Structure 1
Amino acid sequence: MTRRPAGFDFFAAGELPAPALPVDEVAGIVRERWGLDVVLDALGSQQDQNFLARDSAGAPVGVVKITNPAFTSIEVDAQDHAASRIAAAAPDLRIATTTRDGEGTPRAVVADTSEGPLAMRLLEYLPGGTLTGSAHLSPAAIARMGELTGHASLALAGFDHPGLDRVLQWDLRHADRVVELLARHHPDPSKRALVTDAAARAWADVQAVAADLPIQAVHLDLTDDNVVCTTEHGIRRPDGMIDFGDVTSSWAVSELAITISSVLHHAGAEPASVLPAVRAFHALRPLSPAEVHALWPLVVLRGAVLVVSGEHQVQIDAGANAYAAAGVEREWRIFERAVSVPSAVMTAVIADALAVDLDAPIGAAAASRLTVTPGIASADAVRLDVSITSDDVDAGAWLDPGLEERLALAALDAGAPAAWLERGTPRLSASRLHSAASAVTVPTGIDVWFAQAQQVATVGGEARLVVEGADGALILDGAVPARTRARLRLEDDDGPRIPHLVRPEYAAGWLRLTADPAVALGLGDAGPASALANTGGNAAADAARLVARRDRAFAEVQEHYYDAPPRIERGWREHLVGTDGRVYLDMVNNVTPLGHGHPGLAAAVAKQLRTLNTNSRFNYGAVVEFSERLAALAPDPLDTVFLVNSGSEATDLAIRIAMAATGRRDVVSLLEAYHGWTYASDAVSTSTADNPNALATRPDWVHALDAPNPFRGIHRGDEAARYAPEAAARIRELAASDRPPAAFIAETFYGNAGGIPLPAGYLAEVYAAVREAGGLAIADEVQAGYGRLGRWFWGFEQQGVVPDVIAVAKAAGNGYPLGAVITTREIAARYRTQGYFFSSTGGSPASSVAGLAVLDAFRDERLQRNAADTGAYLKGRLEALAQRHPLIGAVHGLGLYLGVEFVRDRATLEPATEETAAICDRLLTLGVIMQPTGDHQNVLKVKPPLVVTRESADFFVDMLDRVLDEGW
C-alpha cells in the first residue's frame, strides 16, 4: 500500500481550482489584518491567487499570496523556512521571504473569505521583474539561471521539515502518474499521443538510474517566471527568486531540469541553448553520471506534465484562469523543443559539455566489421576532403552542389577502387549561406563511391548497419551500384535512427551513438584527412582552447572580438567560416574590400612569392607599376607615392612628412578620432574607445578640435555649420601664439564615430585655414578611401577638396600588409631633411602585386559601383528599420560606410552602450559578424567587403530586425 503523505496529495485531491476572490475583498483583508491601504494588481498563478500590492502613490509594498485551500499550514511553514534558508546561505541573492511580525516570525494569516477560510501571506516585493515572456534569453542570463538553481540546491541539501511530506503534480518523481491521469483531458488526440509516448520513453530512461538519484528538499519551480532580475540598460541579470509554493522533497536533479525546461519556450531557444545553465549549475553543485543520464529525460517529463496540467487547469477553471490559458501555447513549445532531439543525444551532449564520463559509446563496444563483395584494395581507396582546410573547397567551390560527386568520380577515373568521405569531420560542402542557425555539416557515417558494384555486409559486433543512397533511401540488401554514392552508418541497434548529417551543436551526442564504418572497412587506419577531424561536436571547446593558447603567447592587449569567439579558419567573399562549418556573414571587415579568399589576388601573390620577394631598393617592375597606378588615382597635383605596411605607418609617415616639409612640430587633429598605433599616429588619436586615457595623455604638440559630429556633437543639425569656422579660428589662434601647425589631420569621413559625414564645407574651410598658416592638410583615407563611399573613390572628394597628403591602407592590399602615402613631388622631396625613408616590405614585389590585383578587381568587378548601389539599398532598409525600433537613433553614412547608432532616448541621445554589445553577441548566434564603434561603443560598424550582395544586405537587416524584436 502506498503511504499517504502528511501534507497535500495531488492524486487524492482531485481537481484543484485556484482561489478567485474579488479584488475589493482581498484589499479589505489586507487593510484589516496588515493595516495597509493598498491597490491590488492581479498576478498569474496556476493554482493559487496572487496580487501585487501598491500604496496610494503606486509604490509596491509586497505581494499578497492566497494559498490554495488544499495546502496545509505546515506546508506553508516549510516554504517560509526554505526561503529563509536560501537567503542565509546565499546572501548575495534576493529572496522573496514572508513579512515577519515583531518577533521575527513569518506572518501568515487565515482569513474568513467568501470562499471559506484561506491562508494569506504578504511576501516581500523584489523589484526588477522576472524573465516572464518569450523574449530571447542571452547565454549569460541562462547561465545565471543555472547558478541560482545551484545555490538553491546547495542551500536546501540537508533541509528537513514535515511540510515537505507532500505529493505535488510538479514533482517529477510522479510524472508518469500525472501524465497518465491528466492526458485524457488534452483535446487534441495527436498531441496527446505524442505526449504520452514521449513521457513513457523518458520515464523508462529515468527509472534506469532512479536508484542512484539523490533526493533532497527542492524549490521545484525556479523557472523564468520565478527568477527575479536586476535590469540595467536593457540587460537582465537574474539575481533572485520568488514563489516557494512548490517546495518539497524530490530528486535533486529535478531542480535543474525544471529550470532549463523554462528556457525552451523563449525566442531562438533550442535544446543546446540550455548548456550555459547546466555548466553553471555543475560548477557549483556537480552532477553525478546518473544525474546526467536523468537530466534530459526529466526535461521531457517536465514538458509533458506542463502540457497535460495546463490543459486540465484551463478546463477546471472554465476559462476564468487567464494565466493557465495563456500558458498552453508556451507549455506546448517547451515540450516540442524538449523532444526535438532524442534524450540519448542530449545526454551525450551534456556529458561532453561537462566532461563527465558515461558508459562506453557504441564506437568502443560495437566491434563490428564490414565486408564488401567482391571486394576492394582498401589501401588504394582515396579519402576525399571537403573540410574548411581542404584545397578542394577554395574559391567558393564548396558552394557547388556537385563538388563531392565530382571529386569522387575523378578519383575513380584515376584508378582508385573507392573514394570516401570520413565520419565526424565537418563538411564545408554541406553548409549554407545566410542561415540563422547552423547547418547540418557533421557526418555520422561515411560516404563511399565504389568503382565496381559491391555488396556491403556487417560481420559480428552489436551495431546496426545502415546503407542509404544519395537521396537518403535505404538500400536494404546493401547492394551498392558502381560509381554511385552510398552512405554507410553503424548505429546503436537499440538507439534512435541517426541522420547522416547533423548540426555541430549536437554532433557529440549523435556521434556517440555510432561507430566508424571506415574503420570497420579497413579504410580509416591512416588518420583523419583534416586537422579538424572529429571537432564538429566540440567546436566551441576547441575554440576556447585556442583562445587560451593565444592568451598565453599573444600579448593580452591585442584583443579579440567576442568573449567566446568561434574559431574562424576560412573566408569567401563576404562570408567567414568556423571550424564546425558554420558560415557567418561578415558585415564589419573593411580590411578586405574584394572579400575573403579572392582567387585573383591569391594567384597573383602566390606567383610572385614563387618568383621573387625582396625590398623596394631593388629594381623590379611591380613597385613602379603599382606606384604609377596609385598616383594616377589621386587628383593633381598629388603624384608621388611612399609605400608602407599599414595604416598606422601611413598616417605616421604623413605626419612626419608634414613636419619635415614645414619645419614645425604642432599638429591639429579631431576629437573622437583614431589614426593608428605608432607613436605619431597614436599621438593624434583621441578616441576614448580605443584608449580610455587618450584625452589626458596627448603630447603637447597635438591640438584636438571638437568632433564635427552633427548628430551628437556640441553642435547638432543646422548648428553643425559652426564647427568649421570654430576650427579655423583655433588654427589661427595657434599661429598667432607662435605655434603654427605643421598639419591638420582628419578622417575625411568620420568613420571611427560611426560613418558620419562631415558637415558640408567643413574640410574646405579648415584646409584653407591650415594652409593660410603655412601647414599641410592630411587626409586619412585608411577607412573611407578606395571607393567605399560608392560615388567617390576618395572620401575628400565628397567634401570637394584636395589635400596635400593622403594616407591610405586597409583596402589597398585586401588584407595583405600594404599602405601608402600620396603627396606632391615637392613635399616628398623635403623629407630628405630627415634622412632617407625605407620600408623593408612596403612596396616589396609581393605587396606591390597585391596592390595591383586589388586595383584590377576594383575595375573588373565594379566594386565602387556595388558600394554605391548595394550601399544605398542597405541604408534604405536600415532607415526603414529605424521607423519601427526606437532604439535606433540614426543611420549614418554613405555607400558601404554605414553606422547604426543605438540610443536609449532619441531626445537626450543617451548612448545604448551595453545594449549594442549584447546585440552584437546575439547577431553572432544568428550568423552575422558585427562589432560596435564610436567613443560610446553604441554604433554598429557596418563596413562589409565591397562585394557584399543585396541578399547579404537583406539577411543582415532581417537578423537585426529579429534581434530588436525578440531581445538580446
Structure 2
Amino acid sequence: MSDAFPVDGETDGRAISAEEVEAVLRDHYGLSGTINSIAGRRHPYFLIDNGHMRYLLKAAPADDPEQDVEGEHALMRHVARSPDGPRVPEPVAARENGDVVRLSLADKEYRVRLLTFLDGSPPPTEGPFSEEAIAAFGTLSAALTKSLEGFEHPVLDRVPELDLRRAGPLVVELLSTVEDHSARDMIAKAMVTSLRRIQPLGAKLRIQPSHQNLTGLSVVGDIREGDWRPDGLTDFTGIARGWLVAGLATSCAFLLQRNGGDPFAILPAARAYHALYPLTEAELEALWPLVVIRIALTAATAEHRHAADPESYEAAAEAEERRSLLAKVAEASPALMSAAILDACGIAKTMPVIGRLLPEIDPDRIRLVDLGMTSAHFREGNWAEPEIDWKLLAHVAWETGMGSTRYGEFRLSRTKTNTHGRPENFALHIDVCVPAGTVAAAPFSGRLKAAGPRLVLSGAGLTLHAEGLACEHAEDTELAPGDAIGTVAGAEGSVGGLRLRLCRDPELVPPLFSTAEQAGIWSIVCPSPSALLGIDIDAPQPEERARLVRGWREYLYDGAGRLLLDFSGAAGLVGHSRRELASAAERQLLLLDAAPEKASHAEEEYRRRMAALLPDELDRAFFTESPAAAAQLVVELKAGRDDLAVADETATGYGRLGHYAWAFEETGLVPDILIAGSPAATGFVGVFTRSEIAAGHLDERTPRSIGAASFAMANAALELLEKEALRENARETGAYLKTFLERFSERFPTVVAVHGNGLDLAIDYDGDAEALGARLRRNGVLVTNEGTGRLPLRPPLCLAPESAYFFIEILEDILSES
C-alpha cells in the first residue's frame, strides 16, 4: 500500500477524532500541526503538516501481524541511508523509543506509527508514459535493487502476491473456476509458451532482494516540463527475495499496459535498469517471457474475479481489458523482443562458426544482383511488376550460371504506392540460383527438424531454413558438419533456385523481410547467411536512410524504401524520372550540348513550341540561368517604366491551373512581360515580352551555361503534357482535391480557407503550419513550408486520382487527431 496517497478500498467505519490524533502527536512524538483525515483506506490515515515537515500517521488494528511492519521500517531506514537508493519515507521514533505505539482510540485497540510524508505526485491516470518516464521507472527499480544489497531481514522471506517463480501453479489455480474456454485457452497458451522459454534459463537467474511489484501504485514522482517521472518509493509490501529480473518484468508489464500494449515501449526501462544495475545475458533473455507471464497472471486473476462475480460490469470490463492486452503481447515474436532487449542494452551475440552449404561451387563465380533502391535494373516503375526480383535474378543466373540476391537490402519492389504503414522490405534471406544437382552439405552439426520442401537444420544456437533442396534424409537425422544433405532440385542441365535463411531461435519460422525500423533487431535474430556461400553477400547500408534517392512520377523514395507523395513542387509538371526526358537529354548530349556559334536545334525547337503556346504579342524570348537573373532582366526590360504588366507564371504556367494554360488567361489580358520556368524543371527561366519592349535589349543570346540538353528535356516535357493530357488531369484531379479540402474547412477550425485551382492549391492553416508539414512527411507526404500559415500543395500534373485520395486520407487523419 502507498504511504503517500490513498487508494480506494474498504473502510472499517471507525472514527478517530482530530483531538485524539492531536493528543497522540503531542504525548508520544512531541509534535503538533494541521491534521487532515485521508479517506478511502481500510484503516485510519492522517496527514500531519506542522509547517516545516509533513507526516503520515497510520493506525492499524492491534492484532495485525507486526513482523511485516518491523521489516518495512527496517527497509525504509536501510534504503534511506543508502547512497544509491530512491527517495523513501522514514519511520519516526516515538518517545517510548519504539516505532509503534499501542493505544486505545475510539474505543478500539490500535497500533499507531508515524512516517515522514514523501512529497510528490502519483502517475497520471490516463495516457502513455514518455520514454523519459519509462526510463525513470527502470532507473528507480535498479537504484532500489542496488540499495538493497547487504540487507538481511526475515521480511524478505515473504512470498510476493504474484510470484513469477510460481506462475504456472498460480494460473492453473486461477483458471480452474473460469468457464470461458477461449479466454482460458489463450492464457494457458501464453503461459506455456513463455514458461518453455524460461525453463532452460531458470538456473541462471539470480535470486536476491528486489521489488517484485513495482507499478504506478508504488511510486510518486515530479513533473518536469509537463512530463511526470517517478523518483520516490511509497510501497514496500512487494520487496522480497525472488528472481531479480522478475521485478523489472513486473514494472515492464505495467508500462506496456499504460502504453497501449506496444512491446517496444519497455526498451527504455530495460536500458536504464541495465545501465545502473547490469543484468546477465540470461536475465535479459528471460525478461520478455517474464513480462508475458506477468500479463498472463493478471489476465487469469481478472478472469477468476469475473467468474466469481459474473454480473459485475467492472469485473467483466477488467477481464476484457486484460485479455486484449495479452492478445496483443502474445503476437510479438519472443525472439524479436529478446533481441531488441539485448540490443537496447548493448549486448552483442556472437555468431557461431559455420561452413559452406555448397562446397562444390566456386564462390567467386556467384554474381550478386542489385535489387536495392538505386539499382540500375529498375526504371519507369518496372519494380511494381509481379515477381520482378525473381526475373532479374534469373536473368543474371542465365548469363553466368550462378547468381544470388543480397542480404540486408532494402528491396525497391517491396515498397507499394498509396499504402499506410512502413514497408516490410529489409531482406532477411537470400535467393540463390546455381546448377541443379549441386551437392549441399551441412554447414554445422544439428538435427533435421524438417526434410520436406522447406528443410530445417537445427543446431546449437543457429537454425538453417532452406527451400529448394532435394533432401536424402528423414526427419530427426543427426548431421555433422560437412555431411551431405541433398542436392539442388531441378532437371539435369537446368538452374535450380534456393531460398536460404538463418535464425537464432529454433522455434521461430523467420520472416523473409522486416521493416526498416526493426531491421537492426531482426538482423540479430536472423543473421547474414554470407558464410553459407563463402562470400560477402551483405548489401551496403545507406549512410542516411531518410535521404531521398529515387523518384517516379509523383513519388519519392528514401534510402530505406519509404515512399513519399511529392506535393512540394519539386517534381515539376510531368513528375520525377520520366524516361522521355532522360532519353531526350541523352540523345542531345550524344550529339551536342554546347552550341558555340548559334542557338542549338533543341533551343530553336523550344522557341517554336513556346510561340505556339503564348499570345502572338509575346514574340520575343530570353532565357536566363536562374529566377534571380530573370528578375534582373525584367528590371532591365522595364527600364524605369511603371506601366508595364508583368506576369510570373513559374508556379502556375503550362496548365497547372487546369482550366487555363496560363493564369493571366483568366483575366482576358495579355501581360507585357511573362516569366515562365522550364516545363522540365531543368533550371532555366524564360522571359517573354513584346518586340517594342525588347527593342532596346539587343543581346538575345542564351547563356552558354544553359546547354542544349536542357532545351531537349523541356521539349520532351511539352510533348508529355499534350500526349498524356496532363492539363485535363490537373483540372479534374485538382477539382477533386479542392472539393475535399473545402469540406475540411467546414469540419476543422484550423483549416481557415482553401485557395487556388487545378494542382496549384494552398491551405490557410490556423496553427503551426511547420508542424503540420512535419506530420505530413512522417505520414508519407512531402510539402514545402514558406514560413507562413499557408501550406502550398503543388503535386506534378501526372498526379493519379488514387494518389490524391491517399493524400486526402492522410490529411484527414492528421486534422482529426489535432
TM-score (norm 1): 0.63
2:806 to 944, 955, 968: 955
Name the CA distance, whole Å, in 1 between partners of 2:595 and 2:577: 25
1:422-571 aligned within 5 A? 422-452=406-436, 456-458=440-442, 460-462=444-446, 468=453, 477=471, 480-482=489-491, 483=495, 485-492=497-504, 494-514=506-526, 519-520=531-532, 522=533, 524-525=534-535, 527-528=536-537, 530=539, 532=540, 535=541, 543=543, 546=544, 566-571=546-551
CA distance in structure 1 between the partners assigned to 2:250 and 2:704 by the alignment:
63
| Deviation per residue, 1:842-897 (Å, 9 max, x gap) | x3112222222222222222222222222222333344456555554444443333
Task: Please give the secondary structure, in 2, of the residue aligned with 1:933.
Answer: coil
User: Per the alignment, in what secondary structure is the counterpart of residue 517 of structure 2?
Assistant: helix
1: CA distance, partners of 2:218 / 2:662: 52
2:389 aligned with 1:404: yes
| 1:296 equivalent among 283, 288, 300 | 288
Are the counterparts in 1 of residues 383 and 413 from structure 2 also a CA contact under 8 Å? yes
**Partner-residue secondary structure (3-state), 2:377:** helix
Specify every segment of 5 or more residues in structure 1 that has no aligned partner in the other structure, as ranges: 1-6, 9-16, 54-62, 101-105, 536-541, 547-564, 665-741, 743-773, 904-910
Gaps of 5+ in 2: 22-33, 48-55, 93-98, 456-464, 472-485
1:487 to partner: Cα distance: 1.8
Q: 1:97 and 1:789 mapped to 2: Cα distance? A: 71
**Distance between the aligned counterparts of 2:801 and 2:749, measured in 1?**
25
> How do 1:364-443 residues align onto structure 2 when only pairs under 5 Å count?
364-367=352-355, 369-370=357-358, 379-414=364-399, 416-443=400-427
Counterpart pick for 2:191 among 192, 196, 199:
196
Relative to the length of structure 2, the TM-score reads 0.73
Give the Cα separation in 1 of the matches to 2:230 and 2:125.
Answer: 11
- SS of equivalent to 1:487: strand
Give the equivalent residue in structure 1 for 2:132.
Answer: 144
1:597-746 alignment, distance < 5 Å = 597-614=577-594, 618-635=598-615, 637-645=617-625, 649-650=626-627, 652-663=628-639
In structure 2, the residue matched to 1:210 is 205
Distance in 2 (CA, whole Å) between partners of 1:616 and 1:658 is 26
Equivalent AA in structure 2 for residue 942 of structure 1:
L
- Once the two structures are TM-superposed, the CA of residue 515 in structure 1 deviates from its matched residue by 5.8
Determine helix, strand or coil for the equivalent of 1:624: helix
Give the C-alpha shift of residue 310 in structure 1.
3.1
Q: Between 885-894 and 64-73, report the one with greater CA deviation.
A: 64-73
| Mean CA deviation greater in 779-788 or 386-395 | 779-788
CA contact (8 A) 2:76 2:88 kept: no
1:817 matched residue in structure 2: 683
Q: How far apart, CA to CA, are the structure 1 residues paired with 2:764 and 2:736?
A: 18
SS at match of 2:577: coil
Q: 1:399 to 1:263 in 2, by over 3 A?
A: farther
Amino acid at match of 1:929: V
Q: Is the 8 A contact 1:368 1:463 kept in 2?
A: no
Other-structure match for 2:707: 844
Which structure has the greater CA radius of gyration? 2
C-alpha change, 1:460 and 1:243, in structure 2 (3 Å) is closer
CA contact (8 A) 2:138 2:270 kept: no
Partner of 2:335: 344
Q: 1: distance between equivalents of 2:18 and 2:786?
A: 53
- Give per-residue Cα distances to partners, 1:666-719, cap 9 Å, x unaligned: xxxxxxxxxxxxxxxxxxxxxxxxxxxxxxxxxxxxxxxxxxxxxxxxxxxxxx
On the 8 A contact 1:398/1:428 being kept in 2, the answer is yes
Q: Deviations over 1:524-548 (max 9, x none)?
A: 52x4485x3xx4xxxxxx55xx4xx
- Among the aligned pairs, what percent are the same residue? 26
Distance 1:964 1:65 in 2: 51
* Change in CA separation of 1:778 and 1:285 when aligned onto 2, cut-off 3 Å: farther
| Letter of the structure 1 residue corresponding to residue 289 of structure 2 | P
Read off the aligned partner of 2:803 and give its amino acid letter: S
Q: Distance in 1 between matches of 2:213 and 2:634?
A: 71
Distance in 2, Cα, partners of 1:957 & 1:256: 44
Q: Quote the residue 1:596 is aligned against.
A: 576
Taking the TM superposition and a 5 Å limit, the aligned residue runs for 1:11-410 are 19-20=9-10, 126=121, 130=124, 132-133=126-127, 142-153=130-141, 155-156=143-144, 158-160=146-148, 167-169=159-161, 175=167, 178-184=170-176, 187=180, 188-204=183-199, 207=202, 209-211=204-206, 216=210, 220-221=214-215, 237-239=227-229, 244-245=234-235, 248=239, 257=249, 261=253, 270-272=262-264, 289-290=281-282, 292-315=284-307, 320=312, 322=314, 325-352=316-343, 355-358=346-349, 360-361=350-351, 364-367=352-355, 369-370=357-358, 379-410=364-395
Change (3 A) 1:153 1:459: closer
C-alpha contact (below 8 Å) 2:57/2:113 kept by paired residues:
no
Once residues 218 and 827 of structure 1 are traced to their aligned partners in structure 2, the CA distance between those partners, rounded to angstroms, is 87
Q: Secondary structure at the match of 1:619?
A: coil
Distance 1:621 1:260, change over 3 A: farther
Q: What amino acid is aligned across from residue 793 of structure 1 in structure 2?
A: A
Letter matched to residue 383 of structure 1: L
| CA shift for structure 1 position 400 | 0.4
Kept in 2, the 8 Å contact 1:96–1:125? The answer is: no
Instruction: State how far apart, in whole Å, the 2-side matches of 1:316 and 1:242 are.
Output: 36
Query: Retained in 2: the 8 A contact 1:658–1:776?
Result: no
Higher relative contact order (CA 8 A, sep 6+): 1
Post-superposition offset of 1:172:
5.1
Q: Secondary structure at the match of 1:489?
A: strand
Q: Is 1:916–2:772 an aligned residue pair? A: yes
CA shift, 1:473, in A, is: 8.0
Q: Deviations over 1:582-618 (max 9, x none)?
A: 3343344544432332222222223333443337875
Task: Kindly indicate whether the alpha-carbon contact (under 8 Å) linking 2:195 and 2:289 is maintained by their aligned counterparts in 1.
Answer: no
Q: State the shift of 1:625 in Å.
A: 2.2
SS in 1 for 2:623: strand
Compared CA separation, residues 189 and 390, structure 1 to 2 (3 A): same
CA distance in 2, matches of 1:21, 1:799: 81
For the structure 1 residues 196 and 791, does the alpha-carbon distance in structure 2 shift closer, same or farther, using more than 3 Å as the test?
A: same
The alpha-carbon distance between structure 1 residues 519 and 240, as it changes in their structure 2 partners (threshold 3 A), is closer
Q: 1:96 to 1:423 in 2, by over 3 A?
A: same
- Give me the whole-angstrom Cα distance separating, in 1, the residues matched to 2:623 and 2:14: 81
Sort the Cα spacing of 1:158 and 1:407 in 2 relative to 1 into closer, same or farther, 3 A: closer
SS at 1:393's partner residue? coil
Specify the SS of the correspondent of 1:369: coil
Instruction: Check 1:662–1:505 CA distance in 2 against 1; reply closer, same or farther (3 A cut).
Output: closer
8 Å Cα contact 1:468/1:487 also seen in 2: no
Is 1:933–1:940's contact at 8 Å kept on the other side of the alignment?
Answer: yes
Counterpart-to-counterpart distance in 2, 1:886 and 1:67: 56
Amino acid paired to 1:148: A
1:399 Cα offset (Å): 0.4
2-structure distance, mates of 1:788, 1:192: 59
Please provide the CA RMSD for this pair.
5.5
- 8 Å CA contact 1:468, 1:486 repeated in 2: no
Measure how far apart 1:401 and its partner are: 0.9
Q: CA deviation at 1:171?
A: 6.3
Distance 1:614 1:915, change over 3 A: closer
What SS class does the counterpart of residue 126 from structure 2 fall into?
Answer: coil
2:781 counterpart residue number: 929
Q: Deviations over 1:159-211 (max 9, x none)?
A: 45878876444665665565454344553233123222233134336536423
**Do 2:599 and 2:702's aligned partners in 1 also have CA atoms closer than 8 Å?**
no
- Supply the AA of the counterpart residue of 1:494: P
SS at match of 2:636: helix
Shift of 1:801: 5.2
Deviation at residue 619 of structure 1 after TM alignment = 3.1
